Structure 1
Amino acid sequence: MGKILNTLLRRSPSKTSSKLAMMARLAISRIAILKNIHTAKWNIACSDALQLLPGGHPRRELALIKAELAITEQKTLDAYAMIEVYCRLLAEKTEMITDSKECPNELKEMVSSLIFAASRCGQFPELEKIRQMLTSKYGKDFAYSAIEIRNNCGVHPKMVHKLSSLPPTMEAKENLLKKIARDNNIAYIA
C-alpha cells in the first residue's frame, strides 16, 4: 500500500529518504548555532552568580537564581548534544527508515526521542519537520506515544529529564554555587 501511495503521490522512497537525511543535516547545523547561544547564556549566568557570591543574604538569593538559570541552560545544552547524535544517526539510517513500515527496534529510541524533543524544543523548524516526517511514516499513535511518554514508547529517560520543565532542586543550585566558588578560589557560605 505504501508503494502505491508513494506512486500516486509521486514520492519515491529514495526521495523521501534523501529529504529526511537533508533535514537531519540541517538540524545538525541549527544545533551548532543553538549551542553557541545557550553556551553564552550559561557563561553569563555563571559569571553573574560568581559576582554575587561574596555578599550577604539578598545577593545569595540572586546567586541562587543565576545558578538556576545556569542549570537550565546546561540541561538544554545536554539535550541538544543528544539530539545532535540522534540526527547524525538519522542521516545515516534513513534508508532503513524508509524501507520499513514499522519503526525498527534498533531505531526506536532515536525516532521516539527526536519526536519527543521536537514537541519540547521551540524555534527549531528542522526538528519539527523531522517530527512531521517520522509521524507521517510511523503514524500518529506512535508519535503520541513518544510525546506523552507512554510505557515502552522508546524515549530515552535522559532526554525526558533534560527537557523537563521542572526547576532544579535547591541542592543542585547550592552544588553549582559551591563549584563556581571552588573553581574561583572564593569562600562560599551557605
Structure 2
Amino acid sequence: MRLNLLSLFAEFIKGSTWRHHSKCKKLIKQLKARLVVQKKRRNAIIKQVREDIAQLMQIGNHHLAFSRVEQLYRDECRLSVYNQLDAFCDCISMNLCDISRNSKLSDDVKEALSSMIFAASRCGELPELHSLRDLFKQHFGQAFDRINVELLPGNSVNLETKKHLTHVTKLKEDTKLQFMDEIRILIVLWPTTHGLKA
C-alpha cells in the first residue's frame, strides 16, 4: 500500500513539473520587454510614413504617396502582431502550470501557443520568440510545431495573426485608397499635428 502511494506521488510530481517551466517564464518576460521596444520603434515608423504620405499628397504627388501606402500597411500589420503577441504572452503566463502538466488546455491557450509558434517562423527580430518555439516543440512535439508553422488542418493559429503575417504581394487598390482617405481626413482635421497646412 505504502509503495503504491509513493509511486503515485512520484508520478504526480513527474506529471506536474516541466524542466523548462522557469526558462519559459523568463523568456516570456524578456519577450514582453522586447515587444515594448519594438512597438515604440514601429509606432515611430508609422507616424513618419503617415507624415511622408500626407506631405506628398499636399504637394500633389499622389502617385508616390500611393506607392508608400503598402509600406504603411505592412508596418501597421506588424504593430498589430506585436500587440497580439503581448496578449498571447499573458495568456501563456497565466496558464503555465497547466501547460507544464500537459493538462487539457483551453482553446485560448492552444490559440496562444499555436500563434506564437507561427509568428516565430516569421518574426526574425524577436529572438526570444524563437527560443520559446523551441521549448514548445520539445514539449508538444514536432508534429504540433509543423501543423502551426505550415498552417495545416487542425492548427489553432489566430486568424488576425495569420492575416497580418502572411505577405501580401500587392494591396488591393480600394484598400490603398482607404488608407489615403484616412490620411487626407487627418490633414484636414489636425493639420498642426503634422506640421502641415490644410
Shared topology, TM-score over 0.5? yes
Tell me by how many angstroms 1:144 deviates.
0.5
Q: For residue 113 of structure 1, what is the aligned residue in structure 2? A: 115
Tell me by how many angstroms 1:14 deviates.
5.4
Q: For residue 92 of structure 2, what is the aligned residue in structure 1? A: 90
Q: For residue 176 of structure 1, what is the aligned residue in structure 2? A: 179
Question: Are 1:25 and 2:33 counterparts?
Answer: no
Between the aligned partners of 1:142 and 1:15, the Cα distance in structure 2 is 19
Q: Is the 8 A contact 2:112 2:157 kept in 1?
A: yes
Tell me by how many angstroms 1:159 deviates.
0.5
User: Could you report, residue by residue, the CA deviation over 1:111-139 in whole angstroms, capped at 9, with x for unpaired residues?
Assistant: 10000000010121110011000011001
Between the aligned partners of 1:74 and 1:33, the Cα distance in structure 2 is 15
Between the aligned partners of 1:13 and 1:137, the Cα distance in structure 2 is 12
CA-atom RMSD in angstroms = 2.2
Other structure's SS at 1:117 match: helix
For these two proteins, the number of residue pairs brought into alignment is 176
Between the aligned partners of 1:14 and 1:148, the Cα distance in structure 2 is 26
Tell me by how many angstroms 1:15 deviates.
4.5
| 5+ residue gaps, structure 2 | 1-9, 190-198
TM-score (norm 1): 0.85
- Determine what percentage of the aligned residue pairs are the same residue: 23
| 5+ residue gaps, structure 1 | none
Other structure's SS at 1:165 match: coil
Tell me by how many angstroms 1:168 deviates.
2.6
Between the aligned partners of 1:153 and 1:169, the Cα distance in structure 2 is 27
Larger mean CA deviation between 38-47 and 88-97 belongs to 88-97
TM-score (norm 2): 0.82
Equivalent runs, 1:112-151 vs 2, <5 Å:
112-151=114-153
Q: Is the 8 A contact 1:21 1:92 kept in 2?
A: no
Tell me by how many angstroms 1:54 deviates.
2.6
Other structure's SS at 2:188 match: coil
Q: For residue 159 of structure 1, what is the aligned residue in structure 2? A: 161
Q: Is the 8 A contact 1:35 1:77 kept in 2?
A: yes
Q: Is the 8 A contact 1:50 1:63 kept in 2?
A: yes
Q: Is the 8 A contact 2:54 2:183 kept in 1?
A: yes
Tell me by how many angstroms 1:67 deviates.
1.6
Other structure's SS at 1:184 match: helix
Q: Is the 8 A contact 1:18 1:94 kept in 2?
A: no
Tell me by how many angstroms 1:143 deviates.
0.4
User: Could you report, residue by residue, the CA deviation over 1:130-178 in whole angstroms, capped at 9, with x for unpaired residues?
Assistant: 1000011001110000000111210011110011111432211111111
Between the aligned partners of 1:36 and 1:66, the Cα distance in structure 2 is 21
Pick from 58, 67, 78 the counterpart of residue 69 of structure 2: 67
Q: Is the 8 A contact 1:28 1:87 kept in 2?
A: yes
Other structure's SS at 2:97 match: helix
Q: Is the 8 A contact 2:18 2:101 kept in 1?
A: no
